[in-house]
């Protein structure tokens, strides 16, 4: 016969082990790139984030509304659960970036099995990301707050500078209280077009404060230079 105290001891022991592991992951994340990579790989190997697939509906429909047939970039895509649930008809291409090779392997395999040919997954730190076309939508689902505040601000600025006036960025945090400073950084860096609260969870839709992105400004400058050039050529032709 099992004494009640024994089962309590077992539960407590398991609890302590899990808490110890979580602490180890947290400490490892502070030890630079290698530590962070080990920490995330270990979490994914242990199935710690497997439950994320069940809390997606609001973000999925938001992505479907905002993608606009363009190019999506997701920073901190994990095992790719989000894009796996999005209707592939709403976007042209998708790139998921994550620092965990374990998560990226799972994401790549799942996308291949599901026939998601427009999706690509890359191992990398999102604060170093520079490739790809200017996206129509950038997603940071439960990932921005892993950066230190200064890096958060820098990344937000870089992302928002690249978004054309019709494009958007979606940032989610699971706790408005714990991630208050991340929400503040978003509110300061961008115009909050929509803010959804689901108990403690917050989903922000952001657009750039500047009316035009760097690309749109560059295009406008090129168009002006061409116009002036054409006018000058025209004037010269008339004189001769
Ligand atoms: C809480 S998980 C969320 C995963 C995924 N967005 C989801 O909701 O299913 C955070 C993710 O961010 C990634 N991550 C954290 N810091 C990162 C960084 N600096 N660069 C790239 N990925 C990072 C982790 O590897 C992890 O996959």
19-63 pLDDT, tens digit per residue, is 899 999 999 999 989 999 999 999 999 988 876 666 678 999 999
| Ligand 1 atom at minimal distance to the Cα of residue 44 | 27
Of 56, 27, 60, the residue nearest 42 (C-alpha): 27
Q: pLDDT class for 226, splitting at 50, 70, 90? A: confident
* Percentage with pLDDT > 70 across the chain: 84
d(CA 101, CA 44): 10
Cβ density class 172-201: b for 16+ within 10 Å, e for less? bbbeeeebeebbebbeebbeeeeeeeeeeb
Ligand 1 in contact with 143 (CB < 6 A)? yes
Of the candidate ranges 2-6, 106-110, 122-126, the one whose mean pLDDT is the lowest: 2-6
Candidate from 49, 85, 139, 146 with most ligand 1 atoms within 8 A of CB, to mutate? 146
User: Which sign, positive or negative, has the C-alpha torsion 53, 204, 178, 201?
Assistant: negative
Ligand 1 center to 197 CA (angstroms)? 21
Cα torsion for 21, 26, 27, 30, to the nearest 10°? Answer: 150
Over residues 124-137, the mean pLDDT reads 85
Ligand 1 center to 101 CA (angstroms)? 11
d(CA 160, CA 212): 10
pLDDT at 55: 60
Question: pTM of the prediction?
Answer: 0.84
Over residues 81-92, the mean pLDDT reads 96
Ligand 1 center to 106 CA (angstroms)? 14
Return the number of other C-beta atoms located less than 10 Å from residue 55's C-beta: 14
pLDDT at 3: 43
222 vs 136 pLDDT, higher one: 136
d(CA 98, CA 40): 10
Ligand 1 in contact with 74 (CB < 6 A)? no
Question: Between β-strands 190-198 and 201-208, what pairing exists: parallel, antiparallel or unpaired?
Answer: antiparallel
């Amino acid at each position: 016969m099992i004494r009640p105290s024994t089962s309590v001891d077992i539960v407590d022991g398991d609890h302590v082990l899990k808490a110890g592991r979580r602490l180890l992951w947290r400490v490892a994340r502070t030890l630079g790139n290698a530590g962070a990579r080990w920490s995330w790989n270990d979490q994914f190997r242990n199935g710690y984030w497997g439950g994320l697939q069940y809390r997606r509906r609001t973000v999925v429909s938001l992505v479907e509304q905002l993608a606009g047939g363009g190019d999506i970039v997701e920073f901190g895509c994990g095992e790719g659960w989000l894009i796996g649930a999005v209707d592939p008809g709403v976007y042209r291409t998708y790139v998921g970036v994550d620092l965990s090779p374990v998560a990226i392997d799972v994401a790549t395999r799942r996308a291949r099995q599901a026939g998601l040919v427009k999706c690509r997954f890359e191992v990398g730190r999102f604060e170093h990301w520079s490739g790809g076309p200017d996206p129509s939508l950038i997603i940071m689902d439960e990932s921005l707050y892993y950066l230190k505040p200064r890096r958060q601000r820098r990344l937000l600025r870089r992302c928002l500078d690249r978004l054309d006036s019709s494009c958007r960025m979606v940032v989610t945090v699971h706790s408005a209280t714990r991630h208050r400073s991340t929400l503040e950084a978003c509110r300061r860096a961008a115009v909050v077009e929509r803010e959804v609260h689901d108990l403690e969870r917050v989903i922000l839709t952001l657009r750039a404060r500047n009316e035009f992105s760097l690309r749109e400004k560059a295009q406008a400058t090129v168009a002006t230079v061409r116009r002036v050039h054409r006018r000058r050529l025209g004037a010269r032709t008339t004189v001769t």
